Amino acid sequence: MAHPTAVSDSTFESEVLKSSTPVLVDFWATWCGPCRMVAPVVEEIARDYDGKLKVVKLDVDANGDTASTYGVMSIPTLLLFKDGQEVQRIVGFRQKERLLKDIQPHLVAN
């Protein structure tokens, strides 16, 4: 079963930007209540879309350079990357159905 994996400033390019699969990046921090609320939803999406979508988490406190590069001003922020480009930005907590409505158009159908 797929789970979100951690990425850092040093692994972001190889794990996200150079990925052949679309990547959902969860920008979060341990102290963030809404981040803890969205975490189980992100886990479910990682399991449900294994093989179609790569799901990663980036701790903004430990990896401020990447968060700054992408203008992440509040968390949780979910960015969807496809072919190395940001194609969707979701800020704040969303229910699973709403998240899927935003990201599904960018996924390759199997």
Active-site residue (options: 7, 16, 25, 35): 35
With cut-offs at 50, 70 and 90, classify the pLDDT of residue 1. low
CATH code where residue 49 lies: 3.40.30.10
Considering the domain boundaries, does residue 32 fall inside one?
yes
98 in catalytic set: no
pTM listed for this prediction = 0.94
In total, how many domains does the chain have?
1
* Eight-state DSSP code of residue 22: -
- Could you report the per-residue pLDDT of 6-29, keeping only the tens digit for each? 999 999 999 999 999 999 999 999
- Asked about 103 being catalytic, the answer comes back as no
Q: What strands, in cross-sheet order, belong to the sheet with 23-28?
A: 5-6, 54-59, 23-28, 77-82, 85-91
CA 10 vs. chain centroid, Å, equals 16
Domain range for 61 is: 5-100
